[in-house]
Amino acid sequence: MVTMNVITVSDDNYAQHLGVMLYSLFEHASVPGDIEVTVLDGGISDENRRNLKAVAKAWGGNVAFMHTDASLYSKLATKRHISHAAYFKLSIPDLFAEKAERILFLDCDMIIKGDITELWNIDLNGFCLAAVHNPLFERHDQLKLSKSTMTFNSGLMLINIPQWRKENISEQAMEFLQENSHKIKLHDQDGLNAVLAGNCLFLHPKWNQQTKYFELTHHFTSFTKREFESAKSNPYVIHYTTSSKPWQLDNVHPYKEDYRSRLLKTPWKEYEYNYTSKFRLYRSYLYQVLPNKLIGLLKYFLKPAS
């Protein structure tokens, strides 16, 4: 038996969404018992821990919890919907160095639609990690990268632990985040991209379908048209990026029902949906009615200032 070590991060606010993600992970696993999930725990309640364990147990899987001290990252930048728990992933290679040579990190706001065994078995070829390109909003100047450097989305990472630790990636990322706090927009993702340039094996976009894919054409990405359309129509991992989420009543994501239908099969099935802000509602509406190329151009030329 090959144990696949899956690591994720959550506080109590995201426990429900973690539960839905785990349901989908075990649902699509060829052998759910081969997956060993560890949650870096940023303050999950006892009740939600029990609920998460129940989700895994229903599929013959297991979830373990590891307390992580959020104060270690208290000086780093956060957002309304992103807490210091986002930085916990920087500690993962050191925490699991004695246990595994590779781990798969997954964000909570995902739905798994394919068997991760295929991803787990890829050859990392000496790279520190494998991940999916983060198109358009690449922030080369802020991250001190050349314009030709491709950046990745850190929501899904297959990490080569020995290589990562050999190159002191976590220490380098923390140093960058602390020294450039005024430039940080994408949190851990900024720090990791700043120090992992050229050290990432890029995956097919089906492994991390991002919300922006529905706002762009493939011309704004590194993907071929076939790869891009395949990721949109047949994703293996749906990642609800941006602050607009499927647990908001007015969400318009094309795959929102993949979250909602699974939520009904979890201990959080009584969840009551709330509206998001009017601004986000109008923005989501514009994304639906404006041509993709126009949306892409607006996002490209109206980037936030550093």
Q: What is the pLDDT of residue 294?
A: 56
pLDDT at 21: 99
Q: Give the chain's mean pLDDT.
A: 86
Least confident of 89-98, 118-127, 178-187: 178-187
Record the tokens describing residue 226, joined without a space.
């076939």
The closest of 200, 190, 268 to 16, measured between CA atoms, is 268
Helix count (H) and strand count (E) of the chain?
11, 10
Is the confidence at residue 87, as pLDDT, over 70?
Answer: yes
Q: Average the pLDDT over 55-71 and give the result.
A: 90
Rounded CA separation 249/273 (Å): 5
Topology (CATH) of 4-301: Spore Coat Polysaccharide Biosynthesis Protein SpsA; Chain A (3.90.550)
Where are any strands of DSSP class E within the chain?
Answer: 4-10, 35-41, 62-67, 102-106, 110-112, 129-133, 152-160, 200-202, 209-210, 237-239
What pLDDT does 303 receive?
47
| Residue (of 171, 190, 193) closest to 180 by Cα position | 190
Q: What is the pLDDT of residue 80?
A: 55
Give residue 305's pLDDT.
44
Q: Is the pLDDT of residue 43 over 50?
A: yes
Rounded CA separation 39/62 (Å) = 11
Cα gap 168→94, rounded to integer Å? 10
- Percent of the chain that is helix, strand, coil (3-state, to 5): 40, 20, 40
Total Cβ atoms within 10 A of residue 219: 12
Q: For the segment 130-170, what is each residue's pLDDT rounded down to a tens digit?
A: 999 998 666 766 777 667 778 899 999 999 999 999 999 99
The Cα 279–Cα 159 span in angstroms is 37
Look up the pTM and report it. Answer: 0.86
Instruction: For residue 158, give the 3-state DSSP assignment.
Output: strand
Angle at CA of residue 155, ends 260 and 7, nearest 5°: 90
Read off the pLDDT of each residue in 71-100 and give the average, rounded to a whole number: 76
pLDDT band per the 50, 70, 90 thresholds, residue 29? very high
User: Has residue 280 got a pLDDT over 60?
Assistant: no
